[in-house]
Amino acid sequence: MSEDVVTMDKIVALCKRRGFIFASSEIYGGLGSTYDYGHYGVLLKTNVKNEWWRAMLQERDDIVALDSAILQHPDVWKASGHLAGFTDPMVDCRTCKARFRADHIAERQPGIVCPKKPSKVPGEGPDCDLTEARDFNLMFKTNVGPVESTSSVAYLRPETAQGIFINFKNVLQFARKKPPFGIAQVGKSFRNEITPGNFIFRTREFEQMEMEFFVPPAEAPQWYATWKQIRFDWYTRLGIRPAGLRLREHEADELSHYSSGTADVEYLFPIGWSELEGIANRGDFDLSAHAAESRTKLEYFDPGSGERYVPHVIEPAAGADRATLAFLVDAYDEEQVDGELRTVLKLHPRLAPVKVAVLPLVKKDGQPDIAKEIVASLRGLMQTEYDEGGAIGKRYRRQDEIGTPYCVTVDHETLTERTVTVRDRDSMAQERVAIDDLPALLAGRLAQPWSSPKLG
């Protein structure tokens, strides 16, 4: 992928220019590492989440959905180990007042540089004066109720997984499932990161797509291997080029104390190889910990064999924001067309924020009326946009930049022949199509298999 023209700066600029993502609280100078999603960003990230739900629920019959609360009993985080162990080692520079994670400095991670001398790692610059490392808990603390006291302390959840574990018994009672089965959830999480950055790759408020798959203990290794491949394939099916993906197994010294195996789906971002999703064999740690803390049995009884056991858990955990960023990066392309630079997002049509844009060639002669009639016929079938502002070439370029797969142009011939021009985003090929045939034709093309044109 070294031939790619994409950089993080280009992605940030495109997202701002075309209304995908903005810095939050921008008119007040911003708030560190928080972002607001604009219209096209909302549509794109919603499509990413919908494709995840499709893979978890529509394409399987062994997973059910959950939406747990962001605020949970503080003992949840005591049992899970987050109160005692969810910390990062933090150092401050007495000279420039910047703050860094000590482990990121030691690993010389990309982007960890001295603010006063970017060619140096923090601590190696001539003016650097770093403090000793000290632990810093990543959970955001708040209070429940009108009075602030130690008894009212609560936390914004740092992950969605614990909401699934504490609802295991509820789901088991209503869902009529038995292991192996999964509980899936999409929702916001919050981490008071020491060194967030690289746009939406690492933020303090983010959205997770997590599934906990409960299995008989003896089947855990088999399901761990299965889910690693399933989750890797999900990204390639949605258009990410295989050369930019890898599945990296964690070394023994990287594993959490409860994990017998963890692997990351990593993507080659402009900042280097970084985690998109983690798949972990968590054993029975979570259910056992919550059972002990709550004094509630969290186990499965098999009426056929009479056996009782605490299921083991395989956890695929992905970030919706990171996935959105990866799809943007992989889709970004620049081409020379008739001596001009064309910037285009070659997104999988299922992910594209807008599927079809309808464009009247001119704003007269009844063309806008026919265009709006076409929009009305398509709107219930697919995300459709009407665009009449500016020259037709500029409108094509605008739609290219937001990744719209098809543009439908109404022109003078439409008035007499009831036909329109359909333009393909990737090939820029155009063909004449009858208006009455448009809904079926476009729906059929959007449903066809697709692979990135950047594969050549």
State pLDDT tens for residues 32-61: 889 999 999 999 999 999 999 999 999 999
202 is an annotated ligand-binding site residue: yes
220 is an annotated ligand-binding site residue: no
Q: What is the mean pLDDT of residues 287-299?
A: 95
207 is an annotated ligand-binding site residue: yes
Instruction: Determine the pLDDT at residue 29.
Output: 92
Kindly report, residue by residue over 360-415, the tens digit of the pLDDT: 999 999 999 999 999 999 999 999 999 998 999 999 999 999 999 999 999 999 99
266 is an annotated ligand-binding site residue: no
316 is an annotated ligand-binding site residue: yes
Specify the residue for token string 């709550």: 294
Instruction: Determine the pLDDT at residue 383.
Output: 97
322 is an annotated ligand-binding site residue: yes
The yes-or-no verdict on residue 90 having pLDDT over 80 is no
CA–CA distance, 121 with 108 (Å, rounded to integer): 7
Task: Judge whether 79 and 292 are in contact, CB under 8 Å.
Answer: yes
User: Which range has the worst mean pLDDT, 52-56, 91-95, 274-278?
Assistant: 91-95
The two tokens of residue 243 are 């050369």
204 is an annotated ligand-binding site residue: yes
The yes-or-no verdict on residue 95 having pLDDT over 90 is no
301 is an annotated ligand-binding site residue: no
201 is an annotated ligand-binding site residue: yes
Q: What is the mean pLDDT of residues 101-127?
A: 80
327 is an annotated ligand-binding site residue: no
278 is an annotated ligand-binding site residue: no
The yes-or-no verdict on residue 428 having pLDDT over 80 is yes
Instruction: Determine the pLDDT at residue 2.
Output: 38
421 is an annotated ligand-binding site residue: no
The yes-or-no verdict on residue 253 having pLDDT over 90 is no
84 is an annotated ligand-binding site residue: no
160 is an annotated ligand-binding site residue: no
99 is an annotated ligand-binding site residue: no
In the chain, the percentage of residues whose pLDDT exceeds 90 is: 75
Task: Judge whether 293 and 287 are in contact, CB under 8 Å.
Answer: no
159 is an annotated ligand-binding site residue: yes
Strand runs labelled E in 138-271: 140-143, 153-156, 181-190, 205-215, 245-249, 261-269
1 is an annotated ligand-binding site residue: no
The two tokens of residue 313 are 């858990």
User: Which range has the worst mean pLDDT, 60-64, 117-121, 195-199, 385-389?
Assistant: 195-199
Beta pairing partners, 277: 265, 318
The two tokens of residue 27 are 């008119």
CA–CA distance, 277 with 268 (Å, rounded to integer): 13
Q: 363 versus 209: which is more confidently predicted?
A: 209
Q: What is the mean pLDDT of residues 70-97?
A: 84
The two tokens of residue 114 are 């001295």
User: DSSP 3-state assignment of 93?
Assistant: strand
Instruction: Determine the pLDDT at residue 53.
Output: 98
400 is an annotated ligand-binding site residue: no
208 is an annotated ligand-binding site residue: yes
315 is an annotated ligand-binding site residue: yes
CA–CA distance, 122 with 98 (Å, rounded to integer): 9
The yes-or-no verdict on residue 348 having pLDDT over 80 is yes
317 is an annotated ligand-binding site residue: yes
The yes-or-no verdict on residue 1 having pLDDT over 60 is no
210 is an annotated ligand-binding site residue: yes
Q: 133 versus 425: which is more confidently predicted?
A: 425
124 is an annotated ligand-binding site residue: no
Q: What is the mean pLDDT of residues 62-88?
A: 89
193 is an annotated ligand-binding site residue: yes
397 is an annotated ligand-binding site residue: no
User: DSSP 3-state assignment of 153?
Assistant: strand
Query: For the whole model, what pTM was predicted?
Result: 0.89
